[in-house]
């Protein structure tokens, strides 16, 4: 294993990745470079520096990627109204291609031979990290310790720490969340613990970003979202950066009990997995974006986007963000957003996001045509007769030939 001289590790500073630092040093006899990404997880990332230093790491990268994350990954995904399996807003999935990109960039900057991550061999993240790394740097070596070592539990990880004097924050008997959690500006996820039984309801204390809908304010909150080319650029007429938009919507949505989800999903590796998610800002973004598209997009363009969206969602969920097919779809999706400009007014109330208004200078809604009142000849209702008969022609022919439907 001496061919590995340097490896860049996606490092959180937690138990698993702290063990991985020492394991890489011991197993591959290589220099470890750590990379910690701030993508809005809501926790201080700077302490990871001291932990890495205590493990003998000399090159430490701690990068604030919040704006890039929302601008270049979250917003493009929401232009497609992306939902996986009808419900999941892909909060974990969309963060992985950015982390993979930065791992490769650091490997190029430092002359590293390999990259490494702390994803297990059971989950989707191993696929997402590695597909991204190989797409961006085909010859890169990827080291996935969970697929190589014999450390199979928290107890064996702790024993490894004790044997090698690895400083970690966890101690035997110290209270720890029973859930495996992942957070960024788009969402926070919960897995494990009682959630491994799909019949068991999670306890209320698990949720961190939102109040229960029944405990949300009794008075509705109204917000106006301003869109330019499919992206929110202002809230209540106040211009904001992409990351600030999402952080603001997370706060407003969480206060109104919005964005909770309990889901059993199909992982790419084949198993079903239950997870709970809080995505308050994303839930608002999805509702608002569909509302502004409803008045600005041509019917067939909107329907084609809806037909392609499940494929686009699967590409992101399964780790193919950097694939040519996702890039091709993105080009089409972005082109569709040229006229998606305007303002959407939303009413937030006890877990609900309700569209109450939408307006745009590019609106295709023509009240003179759609009115129930006198349209002054804007629409000739007699035209509908021939239209209907032509569309019924094939069915009328079949019926005359004796093809029974009942």
Distances (CA, A) of 322 to 101, 129, 286, 400: 9, 11, 23, 53
Which DSSP string do the residues of 137-167 spell out, in sequence order?
A: -TT-EEE-GGGTS---SHHHHHHHHHHHT--
Angle between helices 125-136 and 96-110 (to 10 degrees): 40
Active site residue 26: no
Active site residue 180: yes
Give CA–CA dist 210/230, Å, rounded: 26
Among 49, 180, 224, 323, the active-site one is: 180
Distances (CA, A) of 133 to 12, 104, 110, 113: 18, 6, 16, 12
56 CA to centre of own chain? 34
Using an 8 Å Cβ cutoff, are 249 and 240 in contact?
no
By CB atoms closer than 10 A (0-12, 13-18, 19+), residue 305 is buried
Among 22, 66, 79, 125, the active-site one is: 125
Active site residue 64: no
CA dihedral 119, 39, 37, 95 (to 10 degrees): 40
Active site residue 383: no
Q: What residues contact 59, with CB distance under 8 A and at least 6 apart?
A: 31, 33, 34, 110
User: Which residue do the tokens 């797409």 mark?
Assistant: 135
By CB atoms closer than 10 A (0-12, 13-18, 19+), residue 192 is middle
Kindly state the tokens that stand for 192.
């494990």
Among 96, 102, 128, 326, the active-site one is: 96
Residues annotated as part of the active site: 16, 96, 125, 180
């Amino acid at each position: 294993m001496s061919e590995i001289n340097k490896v860049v590790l996606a490092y959180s500073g937690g138990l698993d990745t702290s063990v991985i630092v020492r394991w890489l040093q011991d197993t591959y006899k290589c220099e470890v470079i750590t990379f910690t990404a701030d993508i809005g997880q809501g926790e201080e990332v700077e302490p990871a520096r001291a932990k890495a230093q205590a493990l003998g790491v000399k090159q430490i990268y701690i990068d604030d990627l919040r704006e890039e994350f929302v601008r270049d990954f979250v917003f493009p995904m929401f232009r497609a109204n992306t939902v996986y399996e009808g419900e999941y807003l892909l909060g974990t999935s969309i963060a992985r291609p950015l982390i993979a990109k930065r791992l490769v960039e650091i490997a190029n900057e430092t002359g590293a031979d390999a990259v490494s991550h702390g994803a297990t061999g059971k989950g989707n993240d191993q696929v997402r990290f590695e597909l991204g790394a190989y797409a961006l740097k085909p010859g890169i070596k990827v080291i996935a310790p969970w697929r190589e070592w014999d450390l199979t539990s928290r107890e064996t990880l702790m024993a490894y720490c004790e044997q090698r004097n690895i400083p970690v924050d966890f101690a035997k008997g110290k209270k720890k969340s029973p859930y495996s959690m992942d957070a960024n500006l788009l969402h926070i996820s919960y897995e494990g613990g009682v959630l491994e039984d799909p019949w068991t309801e999670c306890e209320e204390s698990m949720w961190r970003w939102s109040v229960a809908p029944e405990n949300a304010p009794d008075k509705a909150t109204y917000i106006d979202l301003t869109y330019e080319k499919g992206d929110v650029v202002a809230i209540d007429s106040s211009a904001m950066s992409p990351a600030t938009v999402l952080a603001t919507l997370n706060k407003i949505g969480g206060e109104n009990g919005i964005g909770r989800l309990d889901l059993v999903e199909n992982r790419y590796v084949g198993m079903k997995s239950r997870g709970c998610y809080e995505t308050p800002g994303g839930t608002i973004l999805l509702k608002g974006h569909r509302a502004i598209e409803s008045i600005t997009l041509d019917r067939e363009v909107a329907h084609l986007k809806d037909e392609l969206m499940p494929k686009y969602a699967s590409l992101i969920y399964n780790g193919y963000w950097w694939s040519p097919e996702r890039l091709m779809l993105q080009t089409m999706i972005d082109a569709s957003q040229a006229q998606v400009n305007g303002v959407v007014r939303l009413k937030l109330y006890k877990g609900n996001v309700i569209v109450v208004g939408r307006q745009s200078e590019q609106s295709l809604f023509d009240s003179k045509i759609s009115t129930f009142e006198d349209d002054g000849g804007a629409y000739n209702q007699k035209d509908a007769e021939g239209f209907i008969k032509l569309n019924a022609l094939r069915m009328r022919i079949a019926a005359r030939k004796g093809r029974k439907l009942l």
